[in-house]
Amino acid sequence: MSREQTFHPFARALHWLMSIMVLSMLFIGAGMVSTVAEKHDWLLAIHRPLGVVIFVLALIRLAFRLTHPAPPLPVDLPLWQKLAAHGSHLLLYALMIAMPLIGWGMLSAGNYPVTMFAGVHLPKILPTDPALFAWLRESHRYLAWLFFLTFLAHMGAALMHGLIRRDGVLQSMTGGKAPR
């Protein structure tokens, strides 16, 4: 083996931790805006601090990724799949960073307190502006949809690598051995 075939253990740990967080976040968001039950309140209470944690972890992860290159894709992977892989990874990083910022900015523009937990809140990052609030709020919704669709493609592709091509790409993130 001349090259690293798996992601760094730190990158793998962050990947799996954040996959749980981001997926939870998407489901929490979809659930809390569609229900009038009591869970609306506590889902909202989780949504804000969890978003901030994802934002911080995403920045750490981006810095780590920029300093620790990913294992190369298989040489025989069709070009369109290579492009799709890079494009979707880029999109996932962009969304992990943009979504919390839009959420934070939207609450700022709506002049809501950006509450993390009782008595602790983040500062405003945008001026109070109802039109800006509405644009950001709707961006947050549609980008959440895009995020979920990108996740579906990402998961489908990972399973395709692991079950159909069996080319070691899935193992580069699970840390297992590629089947011979």
Partner 1 sequence: MQDTENRRPPAHVGWRWALIGLAVAGSAVAFGYVGGWLAPERLSPKKIVDSLEANGGAHPGYRRNHAKGICVGGYFEGNGALQSFSSSAVFAKERTPVVGRLAIPGGNPYAADSSVPIRSFALRFDLADGEQWRTGMNAMPVFPVSTPQAFYDLQVATHPDPKTGKPDPAKAGAFFGAHPETGAFLGWAKTAKPPASYATETYQSINAFYLRDSAGERRAVRWKMVPETPETGDGSPAAGDTDYLAADLSKRLAAGPLRWHLIMTFAGDGDPIDDAAKAWPDDRKSVDAGTLVIDSWQDQATGPCRDVNYDPTILPKGIETSNDPLLAARSAAYADSYLRRTSEEGHLPGAARPKEAK
Residues that bind partner 1 (CB under 8 A): 5, 26-27, 30-41, 44, 71-76, 110-113, 118-119, 121, 123, 128, 130-135, 137-138, 148, 151-152, 155-156, 159-160, 163-169, 172, 178, 180
Spatial separation of the C-alpha atoms in residues 150 and 20, rounded to whole Å: 15
Nearer to partner 1, 36 or 79 (CB): 36
Spatial separation of the C-alpha atoms in residues 153 and 87, rounded to whole Å: 11
b/e per residue, 93-107, with b = 16+ CB within 10 A? ebbbbbbbebbbbbb
Rounded to a whole number of angstroms, the minimum distance from the CB of residue 60 to partner 1 is 26
Rounded to a whole number of angstroms, the minimum distance from the CB of residue 61 to partner 1 is 22
Nearer to partner 1, 59 or 111 (CB): 111
Rounded to a whole number of angstroms, the minimum distance from the CB of residue 119 to partner 1 is 3
Nearer to partner 1, 39 or 86 (CB): 39
Nearer to partner 1, 33 or 101 (CB): 33
Nearer to partner 1, 11 or 33 (CB): 33
E strand map for 39-171: 114-117, 120-122
Pair 90, 97: CB distance under 8 Å:
no
Rounded to a whole number of angstroms, the minimum distance from the CB of residue 63 to partner 1 is 25
CA-based nearest residue to 148, from 53, 43, 24, 49 = 24
Please give the C-alpha separations between residue 140 and each of 23, 35, 84, in angstroms, as whole numbers: 15, 18, 24
Rounded to a whole number of angstroms, the minimum distance from the CB of residue 30 to partner 1 is 4
Residue partners of 133: CB distance under 8 A and separation at least 6: 106, 109, 110
